[in-house]
Amino acid sequence: MENIINKIKNRDRITQEEALKLYDLELLELGDLANSIREEKFGKKSYFNVNRHINPTNVCKDICKFCAYSANRKNPNPYTMSTEEIVQIAKSAYSKGAKEVHIVSAHNPEAGLNWYIDSFKKVKEALPDIHIKALTAAEINFLSQEYHLSYDEVIDKMIESGVDSLPGGGAEIFAEDVRDKICKGKVSSRDWLLIHKKWHSRGKKSNATMLFGHIEGREDRVNHMIRLRELQDESGGFNCFIPLVYQRDNNYLKVDKFLTAQEILKTYAISRIVLDNIPHIKAYWATSTINLALIAQEFGCDDLDGTIQKESIQSAAGANSANGLELETFVNLIKNSGFDPVERDSLYNELKRY
Ligand code: V47
């Protein structure tokens, strides 16, 4: 262990096996190591943005066992917004200060390709300054299969219609055996990475998530991080890594043991140490709870996502995030936990210090 600790202190890269061993380190010692890297890069700054999540349809042709959001037997409440509704929501968010709309849907085979693409076009026409972060690699894979388009063709259409960056969703956990059990039929890990690589090759940025705390093991988590680190070495387009804590309600995935706060904090800290080439680590408070996200600031995380305003995916599975957080509340929580809230844009340019 001493050897690994020295490597981290010297800022040498650690291997997958060494990363796995870090779970055996005492929590606060691991936290200190991750925190020293965070402080070296960002001091006490904690980034967030004023954003609005929009989830325009929950009709989905895939059945991911962890998902409580898509319309199915447990959530028999299908909806699909019109493009006008989507534009209205974006306009209203913009008038309340949102700089970004994060638009992620289910894989709806009835909506049509133009419904997806037109909504971006119309939001951009109405609000040329707003940053559109839209379509996960899983949605791109769905559109490609459904409409017989290559990934490049879908990406061309997205860029033409005003999409600025890709969110990190759909990555789940890269280990194919686990993927088969929790989201069989969804984009493969290889293609998830390929789509991001293609996106980065256009000079565009994206994020990467990891869904953990279900049936995966620690090995799967560190392997997921290493595969992201490898792609980032090649393409350099990931802005941020977001470990998403699994929420257990209203879905079909039976999980006997849930994560302790210790295990969540260790996973954040290890991701900060392993991902030496991805600048930001986000504690997405909608899945970790705001309380743990505030503590995670001392375990390597420098980003708390944002005010969100409305959230449908995690809250459907039990998270306390449906209505987001007021800006003032959010800023005060960060300040009172000893960090400096920095409002950023979607590409991490600093907009305002509080
Ligand atoms: O990919 C679904 C996850 C993701 C559950 O890029 C669940 O900045 C926990 O990707 N428990 C979509 N998570 C959300 C997402 C995201 C969120 C915030 C910021 C960014 C970003 C991206 O939600 C899906 C899936 O992994 N999810 N069900 C659940 N029960």
The residue extents of the domains of the chain are: 31-338
6 Cα: distance to centroid of ligand 1 (angstroms): 34
Listed range (51-55, 88-92, 304-308) with the worst mean pLDDT? 304-308
- Which residue lies with its CA nearest to atom 12 of ligand 1? 169
* Identity of the amino acid at 47: Y
Strand order in the sheet with 51-54: 51-54, 100-103, 131-134
Ligand 1 pocket, residue 172 CB under 6 Å: yes
Ligand 1: atom nearest CA of 251 is 30
Ligand 1: atom nearest CA of 316 is 30
**Which segments within the chain are labelled E, that is strand?**
45-49, 51-54, 100-103, 131-134, 206-212, 238-245, 280-281, 303-306, 340-344, 350-353
Instruction: Look up the pTM and report it.
Output: 0.96
**Residue 333: pLDDT above 90?**
yes
Confidence of residue 250 (pLDDT cuts 50, 70, 90): confident
What distance in Å separates the CA atoms of residue 116 and residue 208, rounded to the nearest whole number?
21
313 Cα: distance to centroid of ligand 1 (angstroms): 7
What distance in Å separates the CA atoms of residue 47 and residue 344, rounded to the nearest whole number?
6
Confidence of residue 9 (pLDDT cuts 50, 70, 90): very high
Beta bridge partners of 344: 350
Parallel, antiparallel, or unpaired: how do β-strands 340-344 and 350-353 relate?
antiparallel
Mutate to test the pocket of ligand 1, among 60, 211, 288 (most ligand atoms within 8 A of CB): 211
Phi, psi of 208 (to 5 degrees): -135, 135
Ligand 1: atom nearest CA of 247 is 11
**Residue 322: pLDDT above 90?**
no
**Residue 182: pLDDT above 90?**
yes
Q: If you average pLDDT over residues 294-321, what whole number do you get? A: 87
pLDDT for 91-126, tens place per residue?
A: 999 999 999 999 999 999 999 999 999 999 999 999
What distance in Å separates the CA atoms of residue 42 and residue 65, rounded to the nearest whole number?
37
188 Cα: distance to centroid of ligand 1 (angstroms): 17
Listed range (43-57, 159-173, 322-336, 337-351) with the worst mean pLDDT? 322-336
* Residue 216 three-state SS: coil
- CB-facing half-sphere around the CA of 225: CA atoms within 13 A: 30
Decide yes or no: CATH 3.20.20.70 for domain 31-338: yes
136 Cα: distance to centroid of ligand 1 (angstroms): 10
Ligand 1: atom nearest CA of 166 is 6
What distance in Å separates the CA atoms of residue 249 and residue 33, rounded to the nearest whole number?
34
Ligand 1 pocket, residue 267 CB under 6 Å: no
Tokens of 232: 């980032």
Q: What is the pLDDT of residue 63?
A: 87
**Residue 75: pLDDT above 90?**
no
Ligand 1 pocket, residue 316 CB under 6 Å: no
- Which residue lies with its CA nearest to atom 9 of ligand 1? 246
What distance in Å separates the CA atoms of residue 103 and residue 136, rounded to the nearest whole number?
9
pLDDT for 301-312, tens place per residue?
A: 999 998 887 777
Are 193 and 206 a contacting pair, CB within 8 Å? no
Beta bridge partners of 342: 47, 353
Ligand 1 pocket, residue 246 CB under 6 Å: yes
Confidence of residue 194 (pLDDT cuts 50, 70, 90): very high
Q: If you average pLDDT over residues 75-83, what whole number do you get? A: 90
- CB-facing half-sphere around the CA of 34: CA atoms within 13 A: 32
Ligand 1 pocket, residue 324 CB under 6 Å: no
Mutate to test the pocket of ligand 1, among 49, 58, 103, 209 (most ligand atoms within 8 A of CB): 209
Of 94, 48, 93, which is closest to residue 354 (Cα–Cα)? 48
Q: If you average pLDDT over residues 156-169, what whole number do you get? A: 97
Listed range (70-84, 107-121, 190-204, 293-307) with the worst mean pLDDT? 70-84
Q: What is the pLDDT of residue 314?
A: 82
Q: What is the pLDDT of residue 324?
A: 79
Greater confidence (308 vs 41) lies with: 41
Ligand 1: atom nearest CA of 138 is 1
